[in-house]
């Protein structure tokens, strides 16, 4: 199967998948009551909703992978809690794009939660986690790294050292402070909100812009302003960044990527009568 790809100026964007997981619907929609959210995100018998894990590949001068899904290190208990469905995972998606792990030059982290950074490392036969992309330089934000290596009671369930500490030990991790370009045509922008140093990724070429929104707007259902995750550490920061960002994305016609949507990888935002909707470009 050939992976769908999208031309953006001189770059090629390839939406990937590391499979699916299920998270508590109430936690995913914060203050939004269940009778509203279950219309757009049906819950299973344990109140969980199905979500994708959709890393994005950017092919240009360098081959850049943005986030990497949860990977294969999760134990049986976690697999049960999160209902992982990785019958088709990132290796399959890379193969569909004609690539293997060795072709990735740069791995960029939106943040270091397990469903984004779990795939950064893999265990060898000896059980030790090592960088999964042998030729890659990994990039994360300094503040996010500091939070990930000093977890507290409210975020501990999302941060697992084996997903990122081995990168540092192997000398393949670059920590970046502030917003700016991290590869040709690719720049990061801090949103805060979800975590203090959560960042989105702006991809620009030939006058066109695409945005990898990570957990700022994880699914199409999270486009309305008050639909903000209960997981977010600083929800008012999410709200103010989201308000400004939606305006910008509509006016400048950004192509936006939804990392956790169960069906839609990417689309354009449209506003009509004060309501913002998504016109899907890539689904499935």
Q: Which residues bind Zn ion (CB under 5 A)?
A: 113, 215
In 3D space, the residue among 127, 175, 170 whose CA is nearest the CA of residue 148 turns out to be 175
* Closer of 131 and 218 to Zn ion (Cβ): 218
* Closer of 113 and 190 to Zn ion (Cβ): 113
SS (HEC) of the chain: CCCCCEEECCEEEEECCCCEEEEEHHHHHCCCCHHHHHHHCCCCCCCEEEEECCCEEEECCCEEEECCCCCCCCCHHHHHHHCCECCCCHHHHHHHCCCCHHHCCEEECCCCCHHHHHHHEEECCCCCEEECCCCCEEEEEHHHHHHHHCCCCCCHHHCCHHHCHHHHHCCCEEEECCCEEEECCEEEEECCCCCCCCEEEEEEECCEEEEECCCCCCCHHHCCCCCCCCCCCCHHHHHHHHHHHHHHHHHCCCEEECCCCCCEEEEEEEEECCEEEEEEEEEC
* Closer of 147 and 215 to Zn ion (Cβ): 215
* Closer of 37 and 114 to Zn ion (Cβ): 114
Give least dist CB 62 to Zn ion, A.
25
Give least dist CB 111 to Zn ion, A.
6
* Closer of 144 and 215 to Zn ion (Cβ): 215
Give least dist CB 198 to Zn ion, A.
7
Give least dist CB 260 to Zn ion, A.
9
Give least dist CB 113 to Zn ion, A.
4
* Closer of 215 and 237 to Zn ion (Cβ): 215
Q: Contact, 198 vs 215, CB < 8 A?
A: yes
* Closer of 86 and 113 to Zn ion (Cβ): 113
State the residue number with the nearest CB to Zn ion. 113
Q: Contact, 246 vs 223, CB < 8 A?
A: yes
Give least dist CB 73 to Zn ion, A.
17
Give least dist CB 215 to Zn ion, A.
4
């Amino acid at each position: 199967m050939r992976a769908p790809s999208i031309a953006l100026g001189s770059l090629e964007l390839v939406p990937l998948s590391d499979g699916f997981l299920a998270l508590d619907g109430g936690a995913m929609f914060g203050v939004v009551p269940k009778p509203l959210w279950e219309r757009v995100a049906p819950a299973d018998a344990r109140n969980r909703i199905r979500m994708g894990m959709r890393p994005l590949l950017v092919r240009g001068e360098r081959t850049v992978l943005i986030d990497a899904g949860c990977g294969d290190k999760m134990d049986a208990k976690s697999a049960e809690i999160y209902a992982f469905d990785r019958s088709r995972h990132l290796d399959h998606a890379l193969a569909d794009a004609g690539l293997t792990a060795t072709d990735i030059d740069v791995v960029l982290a939106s943040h270091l939660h397990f469903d984004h950074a779990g795939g950064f490392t893999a265990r060898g036969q000896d059980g030790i986690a090592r960088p999964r992309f042998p030729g890659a330089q990994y990039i994360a934000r300094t503040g996010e790294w500091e939070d990930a290596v000093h977890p507290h009671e409210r975020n501990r369930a999302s941060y697992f050292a084996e997903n990122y500490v081995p990168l540092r030990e192997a000398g393949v991790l670059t920590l970046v402070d502030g917003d700016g370009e991290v590869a040709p045509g690719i720049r990061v922008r801090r949103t805060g909100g979800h975590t203090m140093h959560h960042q989105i990724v702006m991809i620009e070429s030939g006058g066109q812009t695409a945005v990898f929104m990570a957990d700022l707007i994880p699914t199409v259902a999270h486009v309305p302003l008050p639909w903000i995750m209960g997981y977010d550490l600083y929800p008012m920061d999410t709200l103010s960044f989201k308000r400004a960002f939606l305006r910008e994305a509509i006016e400048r016609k950004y192509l936006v990527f939804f990392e956790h949507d169960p069906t839609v990888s990417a689309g354009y935002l449209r506003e009509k009568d004060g309501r913002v909707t998504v016109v899907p470009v890539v689904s499935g």
